[in-house]
Structure 1
Amino acid sequence: MFKRLVSKVREVLYKMGLLKGIKKVTQHKDIYANDEMYDNIDLWKALYKGYSKQIHDVEYFTIEKGKQTKRMLTLNMPKVISEEMASLVFNEKCEINIDEDNTQDYIADVLKHNKFNKLFQDYLEYNFSSGGMVVKPYVSDGKIKLSFVTADCFIPVSYGNEGIKEGVFVDEWREGKHKYTHLEWHLWIDGIYTVRNEVYRSDNSTDDIGIKIPLESVPKLAGIEEELGMPPITRSLFAYFKPNIANNIDTQSPLGISIYANAIDTLKMVDTMFDSLNREFVNGKKRIIVHPNMVKTVPDLETGNMIRYFDANDEVYEAFNFSDMDNEPIKDVRVELRVEEHISAINAALNLLATQTGFSTGTFTFDGQSMKTATEVVSEQSKTFKTKKAHETIVEAGLQELVHAILELSSVYGIYNAPDDIEVSVAFDDSVAEDKQAELNRAIIELSNKMKPKYKIIAKYYDISEEEAKKWIQEINEESATVGAESVDFFGTGGGNNASNMGN
């Protein structure tokens, strides 16, 4: 009751201007955050959505109305880039492996019930676009649930070489005229992992989080404790992910940056060219100049009805009274469209954008109608593949942290007790990087020089087990016993000179 009374008094004082609220979460006395980083996150997020006022609002001038503002058309490349990189790094073929069968089954069950594969790929896309994301396990109804948090809703509090140790999760929502901001702190206090909850309410602008109010006054937060000290655990109960790119905006920050953070000017150039291509058709449309007398209404001599020679509502026709129009009352004005020049310029900009964001040149192309992404296999020497492997390093470390956090929380709440010192590994899908011709050439060289047994080469080339490869060789040898040297395959089975050079 006393807390509610104090809260009411604080609200009155706040409305009278005698008590100041917090304008931004980053102004909280216990949060050390660089506003510049979160301003950039807002920009990256806006670009991902397809519209940024500072980039897509363009001023232009007309004779009649003077300065005007219009919204530039966009190819929305930030979305394309983030989606492509997320799909290269993580998909349904990616496997999280644990060296203990029961724990492997338990983690697989937790991930399945949380629809992890689909949600993680979505949020990995947000991670590449906004510079980071967090996965936070928690317990609900006796089960482990996973909460996915975007970069703009997480602020680090303390960090070291091992990563972010403490942080605050920000959740905002509106109910009627009020805006609520819930801060969920994850802190280490005297060696004890502590979760602290605070809620603020504001009646003003969206940038003002307002004043602190009791948790029990907000129905959505009913039952949540203000402070909860966890039993002894060894790690923070969240996993932070970010692109594997050095932060050149704030070199002291543990936060990541968007994969297109250093390509903003190029993104603007691409959209400027695309918008210009559209205006090329708008401004260069066919025009027919006619004498003003030809768009006036005249009487039909037979019916007496008033008619026009041309439809006055047809935008193709323009009425002008030039000095020589009496001799040539109709003029067809044709403007040459610079379509190919625009497409060529857009593709040049896309090549630059691909390089700046970690993709190989030629990954993105524009044919004048739609955006296309290269579908051919990626060489292991390509920039795309190298970038993919670099991002996988941090994603794997984050997934390992997440698995250990799930197991710690499961043990604390008596849901599941995993053995000590389990090993977690992640097998990513590298099929996109297969270069079959290069593998074939390497297999022939290895076979010709007797560098490996045939069954090992077959197993690797066809991605089958070694036992199955041995069965293949046995079947091939049985079939080859009845064929001549001209039927020998590249593995050298069946006889002849090639066979004699390639032993088991």
Structure 2
Amino acid sequence: MWKNLIAKLRQVMYRMGLIRGIQSVYAKKEIPVNETFFNQIDVWKALYSGYHKDFHNVKYHTINGTKTRRMATLNMPKVVSQELATLIFNEKCSINISDETLAENIKSVFEANSFYMKFQDYLEYNFALGGMAIKGYAEDNQIKLSYVTADCFIPISWDNAGIKEGVFVSEIRRRDKKYTHLEWHLWDGPEYVIRNELYESNGSDLGVLVPLNTLFPDLQEETRIQNLTRPLFVYFKPNTANNIDLNSPLGISVYANSLDTLKSLDIAFDSFQREFRLGRKRIIVPASAIKTVIDPQTGQQHRYFDATDEVYEAFNLDQDSNEIKDISVELRVEEHIAAINALLNILAMQIGFSAGSFTFDGKGVKTATEVVSENSKTFRTKQSHETVIEAGLQELVEVIIQVAELYGFFSRPVEKYKVSVTFDDSIAEDQTAEINKQVLLVTNGLTSKKRAIMKVHGVTEEEAEKILQEILKEQQTVTAQAIDLFGMGSGGE
């Protein structure tokens, strides 16, 4: 009660300007991260959205003085992030769980949360902003998954195994007020603590702490949970080393080290567009030629040239010169296209794609990742990211199980379960060639039938064992039928 009264008093004093609010969430002593790194996330986010002030606001000089315009952009950050997300995770991917009952329960949770559709979207944000988090919780008598972008999650503590504690940040606008909700996920010894705070601000600062019931009348300030083995969230990031802050557990954007190239690309594309506007056809005519002439017979006004036609430019030429000149310039279309394609190849190299993955034909950017060989740079990059994504999805299954046990939705399997992810490698693999390869390896004793089944069907070891037993059983049945067909099983000669 006293805590709420003090919070309300501070709220009133802040509104009256008697006290100052906290400048930012990073100013809180409990948050041990560098605000500069999160400023970089803002840059990556702006580029992903297609407009970054420092890149795309261009000053230029005219006779009437300096003017500002917005540069045209190819928006390659969006293109490369979307392409990576599509290559790695799509509707052909499947999450395999060795325990059938658990697999059905997890499947129902995913379906209720539109997981496959949402995860691909947030995987794209993951590549663009350098990370994302998925939080598990219970609401309306079912398990919910909350997806959070990198700019709305701040790590508090971590070790080699991953991030252990963090705070989720969300902003809400109400008229002229900005409210910031902080949801802390912390460990207090063996207890897992979820703490909620609400701040009110008149401007860009974090402001002052206000009672939760200002916006959330049903939200508890603190919840303590027993018997958890891991946090109720999973943090995903691109499999790229963070060379901006080597001590941070956070990831970096796949184009974090390509900012100069991205800027050069937009300069080249902007110049390509302006080539057509500035290089349009122009004809110089004497100023006298566009003067109004009155027809002596009708009294009507006439011009030799249409004054509304933007092709003509009137100049006061020499009095003796009535020459009409075409000063149209030759457009440098091919030169611009060649320059843009050269920059696209540099960008592809920097983000881990093969040269030629992106091409510009004068109309737009085309991608060439439909057919990728297994030894190509694109495919190796794809597999690299799949490694950390699979590990994250395995953790997500564990988070769902913890929430399910906490609220009594379903129980953990008695026996240890295994989770594997089958990614879509059809863009890089010929399925028939892969089957023939595995058959050849089995025939020559270089691999087992079980491992061949795992590779071809993309299943776990337990599932491969079941398939193998089914095959052996069918083979035995076929052999018995063949013997009976020839009368060998009925006492005949």
Q: TM-score, normalised by structure 2?
A: 0.88
Cα separation, partners in 2 of 1:450 and 1:233, compared to 1, 3 Å: closer
* Structure 1 gap ranges (5+): 475-504
**Counterpart in the other structure of 1:488:** none
Q: CA deviation at 1:214?
A: 1.0
Q: Which letter does structure 2 place at the counterpart of 1:71?
A: R
Residues 98 and 418 in structure 2, CA contact (< 8 A), matched pair in contact too = yes
Q: Which residue of 2 aligns with 1:158?
A: 157
SS in 2 for 1:314: coil
Tell me if 1:380 matches 2:374: yes
Deviation of residue 376 (structure 1)? 3.6
Q: How does 1:439-450 map to 2 (within 5 A)?
A: none
TM-aligned CA deviation for residue 309 of structure 1: 1.3
Query: Match of 2:326?
Result: 332
Deviations 1:295-341 (A, max 9, x none): 11111233211121112121110001222x74443111220110000
- Taking a change above 3 Å as real, the CA distance of residues 378 and 283 of structure 1, as seen in their structure-2 partners, is same
Aligned-pair CA distance for 1:161: 0.3
- The amino acid that maps onto 1:215 is L
Amino acid at match of 2:365: M
The letter for the 1-side match of 2:193 is T
Map of 2:391 onto structure 1: 397
Displacement after TM superposition at 1:462 (Å): 9.1
Partner of 2:168: 169
Q: How has the CA–CA distance of structure 1 residues 362 and 435 changed in structure 2, closer, same or farther, with 3 Å as cutoff?
A: farther
Q: Offset at 1:346?
A: 0.1
Q: Are the counterparts in 1 of residues 8 and 211 from structure 2 also a CA contact under 8 Å? A: no
Secondary structure of 2:325 counterpart: strand
**Partner residue of 2:43?**
43
Q: Is 1:60 the counterpart of 2:60 in the alignment? A: yes
Could you tell me whether the CA contact under 8 Å between 1:291 and 1:326 is conserved in 2? no
For 2:441 and 2:208, locate their aligned partners in 1 and report how far apart those are by CA, in whole Å.
72
Residue of structure 1 equivalent to 2:356: 362
SS in 1 for 2:199: strand
> Does the residue aligned with 2:58 lie in a helix, a strand or coil?
strand
Partner AA of 2:353 in structure 1: F
CA distance in 2, matches of 1:3, 1:160: 34
**Distance of aligned partners of 1:463 and 1:98 in 2 relative to their CA distance in 1, 3 Å threshold:** closer
1:281 to 262, 268, 276: 276
1:350 corresponds to: 344
Read off the aligned partner of 1:216 and give its amino acid letter: N
The 10-residue stretch of structure 1 (415-424 or 234-243) with the greater mean CA deviation from structure 2: 415-424
Question: Which of 300, 303, 308 is 1:308 aligned to?
Answer: 303
Counting only pairs closer than 5 Å after superposition, residues 182-331 of structure 1 correspond to structure 2 as 182-203=181-202, 205=203, 207-218=204-215, 221-323=216-318, 326-331=320-325
Residues 84-123 of structure 1: matches in 2 within 5 Å? Answer: 84-123=83-122
Partner of 1:10: 10
Measured after TM superposition, the shift of residue 408 of structure 1 is 0.7
Q: Within 2, Cα distance between the matches of 1:153 and 1:330?
A: 63
Distance 1:176 1:327 in 2: 67
Alpha-carbon shift at residue 217 of structure 1 (Å): 2.4
With 368-377 and 251-260 compared, the bigger mean Cα shift is at 368-377
Structure 2 Cα separation of the partners of residues 444 and 255 of structure 1: 43
The corresponding residue for 1:418 is: 412
1:256-283 deviations in whole A, cap 9, x for unaligned? 0000000000000000000000111111
Q: Cα gap change, 1:76/1:316 in structure 2, threshold over 3 Å: closer, same or farther? A: same
Change (3 A) 1:281 1:440: farther
Distance 1:265 1:358 in 2: 16
Aligned residue identity for 2:42 = D
Task: Give the SS at the match of 1:11.
Answer: helix
Aligned residues: 463
**Aligned-partner SS, 1:251:** coil
The amino acid that maps onto 1:273 is: A
Partner of 2:21: 21
Distance (whole Å) between structure 2 residues aligned to residue 415 and residue 437 of structure 1: 43
CA contact (8 A) 1:377 1:435 kept: no
The alignment's C-alpha RMSD in Å is 2.8
Residue in 1 aligned with 2:82?
Answer: 83
Q: 1:427 aligns with which of 422, 429, 441?
A: 422
1:241 Cα deviation after fit? 0.2
